[in-house]
């Protein structure tokens, strides 16, 4: 708790660092750049464009999306950490850059807990553990029981080392105290083929993958979030399936460089939350597989801090 209080105090003391009169922000005719660490056309990009378009209407300005893919969002995150804290350069950040990559020992050029002024959570998404439709395993508990009987024999697949799928399964192995072989893939296509064909006992994929392929090929046995996913309401969570304390919630959020004034942060926070509450935005977000949930800057800071601490412990043996 002391570490969390220190983090929150440092973060919000920094918000007052640019205390000049900024009541006219955003200036008429001046656009706001949002750097997204993922390629155009993907889910993160689509979410950012959807939400910031509505924010622009609310604030009377234009948001420009700057896609800087590569290194799992680390390059974009580092760029915003070094940006001028005037409210005109923002980050569409992800849990990967703030908690997962640091936990895996990836070298980063910023401090995930001190280089930013968190504004709001913008999207949450779950992953889902799947088996082949004809698999002998119909529940998480059946899979766990078999893994305990045969430690180091069963295999699971993910879209790659450090991916959300890998992280989700790593948490299961840690909490259930089981040993399975991780088979990383370069993408989801071959992973799904091997799960369906029985080459893998299980895999962890996105909810949209299950929606696209259908339950005649894949059997979803648990979602990774604390609550059931609206897109798969009949699929239980891991916690409901008997894995106590399991929660792997993957998120995106809006952040500014450290030193951005609290006035600007509050204006942006109000616009984000109003945009996410708009029915059209909400429906479009759900279609992308995201749950658009806003937050206060303080709550978003706690999420970042808690995930940073949590995944550092879970993934320390995955490096």
In a domain, 178, yes or no: yes
Report, as an integer, the average pLDDT of 306-310: 92
Mean pLDDT of the chain: 89
Q: Report the percent of the chain where pLDDT is more than 90.
A: 64
- Distance between CA 172 and CA 7 in Å, rounded? 28
Q: Are residues 68 and 91 in the same domain?
A: yes
Domain extent for 153: 127-223
Instruction: Assign residue 203 the CATH number of its domain.
Output: 3.40.190.10
The pTM for the full model equals: 0.81
Q: Tell me what pLDDT residue 69 has.
A: 82
3 state SS of 119:
strand
* Count of structural domains within the chain: 2
pLDDT in tens, 44-72: 899 999 999 999 999 999 999 999 987 77
Instruction: Assign residue 297 the CATH number of its domain.
Output: 3.40.190.150
Q: Tell me what pLDDT residue 242 has.
A: 96
Q: Tell me what pLDDT residue 23 has.
A: 65
User: 61 with 93: CB under 8 angstroms?
Assistant: no
pLDDT in tens, 258-288: 999 999 999 999 999 999 999 999 999 888 8
Asked if the model's pLDDT at residue 3 lies above 80, the reply is no
- Cα separation values, 151 from 136, 146, 163, Å: 18, 8, 23
Cis peptide before 197 (omega within 30 of 0): no
Alpha-carbon torsion 8, 14, 20, 23, what sign? Answer: negative
């Amino acid at each position: 708790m002391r570490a969390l209080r220190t983090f929150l105090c440092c973060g919000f003391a920094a918000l007052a660092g640019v205390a000049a009169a900024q009541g006219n922000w955003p200036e008429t005719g001046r656009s706001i750049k949002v750097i997204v660490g993922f390629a155009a056309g993907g889910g993160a990009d689509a979410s950012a464009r959807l939400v910031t378009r509505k924010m622009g209407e609310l604030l009377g300005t234009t948001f420009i999306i700057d896609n800087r893919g590569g290194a799992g969002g680390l390059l974009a995150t580092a760029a915003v950490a070094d940006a001028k804290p005037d409210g005109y350069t923002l980050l569409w950040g992800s849990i990967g850059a703030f908690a997962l990559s640091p936990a895996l020992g990836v070298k980063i050029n910023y401090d995930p807990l001190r280089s930013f002024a968190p504004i709001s959570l913008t999207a949450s998404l779950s992953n889902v553990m799947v088996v082949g439709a004809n698999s002998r395993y119909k529940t998480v508990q059946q899979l766990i029981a078999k893994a305990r009987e045969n430690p180091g024999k069963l295999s699971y697949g993910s879209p790659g080392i450090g991916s959300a799928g890998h992280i989700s399964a790593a948490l299961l192995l840690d909490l259930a105290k089981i040993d399975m072989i991780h088979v990383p893939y370069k993408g989801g296509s071959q992973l799904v083929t091997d799960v369906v064909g029985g080459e893998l006992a299980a895999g962890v994929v996105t909810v949209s993958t299950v929606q696209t392929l259908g339950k005649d090929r894949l059997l979803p046995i648990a979602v990774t979030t604390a609550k059931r996913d609206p897109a798969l309401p009949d699929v239980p969570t891991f916690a409901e399936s008997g894995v106590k304390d399991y929660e792997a919630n993957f998120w995106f959020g809006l952040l500014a460089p450290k030193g951005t004034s609290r006035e600007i942060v509050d204006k942006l926070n109000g616009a984000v939350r109003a945009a996410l509450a708009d029915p059209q935005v909400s429906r479009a977000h759900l279609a992308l597989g995201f749950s658009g949930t806003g937050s206060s800057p303080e709550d978003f800071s706690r999420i970042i801090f808690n995930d940073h601490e949590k995944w550092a412990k879970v993934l320390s043996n995955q490096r």
